[in-house]
Structure 1
Amino acid sequence: MNAPNHRSEPTLPNLICNGATLEEILLRIADASNIDEIDFKGWTGLHWALVREVTDVIVLLLESGADPNRATGSGRIPLNIAMRSGQGDAVKLLLNAGANTDLADIDGKTPLMVGTSGKYPELTRLLAK
């Protein structure tokens, strides 16, 4: 079930979390007063798109002005979400949108620190450029 906003409509994060179509997301973005609206967990649509690994939605949100540095309610940052799951395309998109590589998450880890875990060395090289 989607959490309603003040107009009893699903929020953008809830649409993305629940696998809405690109058309449904486009309609919500056109009607949204805030591309970075949050759900009850403090997550934006961008956070959910990253977790669900939906690249076309990530592109759409970033092109629509989503904040590539906004942390979740629990302190997770978009670039670290993408780094931890090995999403090279998402990392590139976030960097191109101005993601701050020096920003640390709730654990005190920057994206470079996450990258040095050795799991995705190619992503660490992207950050070093």
Structure 2
Amino acid sequence: MNRRRQKKFSGQLFAAIWRGDTARARALLRAGADPERADGEGTTPLYVASVHGEAAIVRLLLTSGAAPDTESRGIGAEGTPLCAAACWGHTEAVRELLAHGADPNLREDHGTGWSPLDWANNGPHPETAALLTAAGATARLRTT
């Protein structure tokens, strides 16, 4: 697929995620949209779906090849998908990420930031925290 078409599909995929349009996201991925392609700022599709709690789209992106632990680098959208979902208490998105191999102890900021459990506890989102703990997560809040 040529770059221009891939860029177009990528933009449309982000739009579908923002709208929560699972059917459109599925159609774009089937047509060749890259589930890992970040936008111009470095934000990944999986991060956007996770931070908005779009569990069905999270599952779709993961089954289409998105890596569960890829850290997003977009302005205001930095971090891992699991931390993003945990921060807002999106338990179903957290469940999907864990089911597809997301590391429950992977800290943001290249390992120097908060863990998913830190974010869930800070929420506070006890249901999400319990799910993460059951998956082996441990809290490691930063001291700085």
Using the size of structure 2 for normalisation, the TM-score is 0.74
Q: CA deviation at 1:95?
A: 0.5
In the alignment, which residue of structure 2 is the partner of 1:40? 40
Residue in structure 2 matching 1:127, options 108, 123, 132: 132
Aligned residues: 125
How has the CA–CA distance of structure 1 residues 40 and 17 changed in structure 2, closer, same or farther, with 3 Å as cutoff?
Answer: farther
Q: How far apart, in 1, do the equivalents of 2:86 and 2:122 lie?
A: 10
Query: RMSD of aligned C-alpha atoms?
Result: 2.2
Q: CA deviation at 1:20?
A: 6.6
* Identity in percent: 26
Residue 67 (str. 1) matches residue 67 (str. 2): yes
Residue 9 (str. 1) matches residue 8 (str. 2): yes
Listed as ranges, the gaps of 5+ residues in structure 2 are: 135-144
Q: CA deviation at 1:13?
A: 4.6
In the alignment, which residue of structure 2 is the partner of 1:94? 97
Flag the structure with higher strand content.
2
Report 1:102-117 matches (<5 A).
Answer: 102-106=105-109, 108-117=113-122
How has the CA–CA distance of structure 1 residues 118 and 44 changed in structure 2, closer, same or farther, with 3 Å as cutoff?
Answer: closer
Listed as ranges, the gaps of 5+ residues in structure 1 are: none
The answer as to whether partners of 1:16 and 1:49 remain within 8 angstroms in 2 is no
